[in-house]
Amino acid sequence: MSGPRPVVLSGPSGAGKSTLMKRLMKDHEGVFGFSVSHTTRNPRPGEEDGKDYHFSTREAVQKGIDNGEFIESAEFSGNLYGTSKAAIEDVQAKNLICILDVDIQGVKRIKETDLNPIYISIQPPSMEILEKRLRDRQTESEESLQKRLEAARIDMELSKEPGVFDIVIINDDLERAYEELKDILNEEIQKVQEAKS
């Protein structure tokens, strides 16, 4: 109960969540732990099973959901994604700040639980820039890219609703966005660092 508050990072696909999160974890070793989600999408080159995601089948994820093993799950761009209770417990057992990377549907479902995280939305400066970043990343087929852009439009609208997020960070200049992210999390980071010393 008294562990550090988890952090939910959300925002459109391609907004820069992974980039910011990886940097945060690298710069603060032993402070953060990533909640490894399950997904039915295929791994990208360089992604590791059990580290980036638990790459799984729809049947297996659905079975886990039916058994009550997930705190939330959502359909995104034709695939099923979900956060297992074990993913969060693994991080919290180590007294680390648990980071969850979930879409806007996940945010809404987590709000119905007692997780009590800090809700952060990472937003691109514009749809045009988002599309360019997603294309340059070269991870998506044209079909997948279009689905992500459609989901991004919905995300950008919903994230403007007051009270959904504690803070919305516009990821224009990466350095500035990263500083903003660190500032918000500073108090929790310090708590974890003090508990260790």
Ligand X SMILES: Nc1nc2c(ncn2[C@@H]2O[C@H](COP(=O)(O)OP(=O)(O)O)[C@@H](O)[C@H]2O)c(=O)[nH]1
Ligand Y SMILES: Nc1ncnc2c1ncn2[C@@H]1O[C@H](COP(=O)(O)OP(=O)(O)O)[C@@H](O)[C@H]1O
Q: What dihedral angle (degrees, nearest 10) is formed by the CA atoms of 161, 166, 170, 173? A: 180
Using CB under 6 A as the binding rule, whether residue 174 contacts ligand Y is answered as yes
List the one residue from 71, 80, 102, 189 that touches ligand X (CB under 6 A).
102
Encoded tokens for 127: 């749809």
Choose between 18 and 62: whose C-beta lies nearer to ligand X.
18
In the bound complex, what is the minimum distance in angstroms from residue 134's beta carbon to ligand Y? 7
* Catalytic residue of the set 5, 23, 41, 137: 137
In the bound complex, what is the minimum distance in angstroms from residue 151's beta carbon to ligand X? 7
List the one residue from 3, 5, 18, 131 that touches ligand X (CB under 6 A).
18
Residue 44 is among the residues annotated as catalytic for this protein:
yes
Encoded tokens for 21: 């999160």
Beta pairing partners, 82: 38, 73
* Closest by Cα among 27, 55, 23 to 40: 55
In the bound complex, what is the minimum distance in angstroms from residue 179's beta carbon to ligand X? 22
Residue with tokens 């970043």: 133
Total of residues contacting ligand X (CB under 6 A): 16
Beta pairing partners, 168: 121
Using CB under 6 A as the binding rule, whether residue 76 contacts ligand X is answered as yes
Say how many C-beta atoms besides its own lie within 10 A of residue 52's C-beta: 17
